[in-house]
């Protein structure tokens, strides 16, 4: 406990907090708001989507920046504790790649690029995919956290000769 800095706690707090807001917000929109909004008249539905996206965009942009900064810091801390632990790096590497895919889809859905218009027309499916990937990401992150630091047995430690 003595070697935990305030920065470590703040970075974890920001990381988990940003993940809760982004994943929770996406689940709310995909499974509660969108099915309820389908019943609105088309003009009202379009207006609601337009207003909602303008606000949600700010959350997504800040969330991505915060997750990348806090996640990068967490990883920098973790590297020292998990040297030579292939499973840890494999799982966290997979998690980071999946997070980048999630960031890409989330950015496309709030963006305006004409190249991705088709994707935005299937918003519900892509948001469902974000929720699925986020579930795997949280599962992987939770597993590596609970698994903790794996220390090598003494007979597996290689001693280098100096002469």
**Binding residues vs ligand HEM (CB under 6 A):** 12, 15-16, 19, 23, 67-68, 71-72, 74-75, 78, 92, 96, 99, 102, 134, 137-138, 141-142, 144-145
Q: Which residue is nearest to ligand HEM (CB)?
A: 71
Q: Residue 59 Cβ, how far from ligand HEM at the closest point, in Å?
A: 13
Q: Residue 35 Cβ, how far from ligand HEM at the closest point, in Å?
A: 23
**Tokens 């889809």 identify what position?**
105
Whole-angstrom CA distances from 147 to 91, 134, 157 are: 12, 20, 21
Between 52 and 138, whose beta carbon lies closer to ligand HEM?
138
Cβ-proximal residues to 110 (8 Å cutoff; 6+ apart), any chain: 53, 56, 57, 60
Between 52 and 96, whose beta carbon lies closer to ligand HEM?
96
Q: Residue 145 Cβ, how far from ligand HEM at the closest point, in Å?
A: 4
Q: Residue 92 Cβ, how far from ligand HEM at the closest point, in Å?
A: 6
Between 37 and 69, whose beta carbon lies closer to ligand HEM?
69
Between 14 and 34, whose beta carbon lies closer to ligand HEM?
14
- CA separation for the pair 26, 77 (Å, rounded): 29
In this structure, the number of other CB atoms found within 10 A of the CB of residue 95 comes to 21
Give 3-42 as a DSSP string. T--HHHHHHHHHHHHHHHHHHHHHHHIIIIIHHHHTTS-H
Q: Residue 22 Cβ, how far from ligand HEM at the closest point, in Å?
A: 6
Between 61 and 145, whose beta carbon lies closer to ligand HEM?
145
Rounded to 5 degrees, φ, ψ at 135 are -65, -45
């Amino acid at each position: 406990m003595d070697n935990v800095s305030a920065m470590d706690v703040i970075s974890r707090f920001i990381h988990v907090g940003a993940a809760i807001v982004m994943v929770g917000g996406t689940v709310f929109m995909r499974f509660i708001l969108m099915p309820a909004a389908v019943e609105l008249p088309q003009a009202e539905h379009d207006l609601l989507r337009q207003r909602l996206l303008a606000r949600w965009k700010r959350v997504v942009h800040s969330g991505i920046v915060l997750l990348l900064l806090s996640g990068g810091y967490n990883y920098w801390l973790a590297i020292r504790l998990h040297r030579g632990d292939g499973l840890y790096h494999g799982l966290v590497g997979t998690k980071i790649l999946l997070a980048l895919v999630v960031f890409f889809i989330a950015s496309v859905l709030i963006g305006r690029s004409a190249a991705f218009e088709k994707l935005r027309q299937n918003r519900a499916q892509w948001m469902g995919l974000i929720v699925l990937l986020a579930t795997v990401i949280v599962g992987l992150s939770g597993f590596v956290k609970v698994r903790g630091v794996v220390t090598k047995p003494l007979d597996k430690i290689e001693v280098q000769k100096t002469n």
